[in-house]
Structure 1
Amino acid sequence: MDDAAATHLTETTKEKLRQTVGKIERLEEEKKEVAEQIKEVYAEAKAFGFDVKALRQVIRLRKVDKADREEQEMMLELYLLATGDA
């Protein structure tokens, strides 16, 4: 965007843009903080003796609809059988 285009923005539009950028920056910071908290919870789980890799898989699977998950598992089983790995 050149200077001529920027001068065509109204003050209201410029302020809305600044607010939007500020909001995104705040949310990115919150996301970073939440990610750190999740990392700490996984560390606690590991300290309790839980298998973190399995725990991550459980979390991932719980996000998937049960019917979709069952379909994925059936497809995986079929592929494993077809490749002789089951």
Structure 2
Amino acid sequence: MVSPRTLEVSDLVRLRPGNPQGTDPRDWLMVVDLVEHLPGVFEVWHQPDHPDHQDWAAAITAADVAEIIRADADIPEPLTEESP
């Protein structure tokens, strides 16, 4: 299981329903950077085929994440409260 506490640049993430960023929880977002001077905060973008790709970015924390796909993983893994 991929832990949200170990988000990495290039991970694909889905955010939890009702997230403060207002994104659809079905949309995959790409982690593109760590936010400087804010430990545990990551910048995400929409995927290139999303209509808002050029006009949107958000800062998230691990608490916002529902699912992660890591480049070396084959399928999304849902996170649970028991996840480490």
TM-score, normalised to structure 2's length?
A: 0.20
Whichever of the two has the greater Rg, that structure is 1
* TM-score w.r.t. length of structure 1: 0.19
Q: Which structure would you say has the larger RCO, counting Cα contacts within 8 Å and 6 or more residues apart?
A: 2
Counting helix residues as a fraction of each chain, which structure ranks higher?
1
Which one has the bigger strand percentage?
2
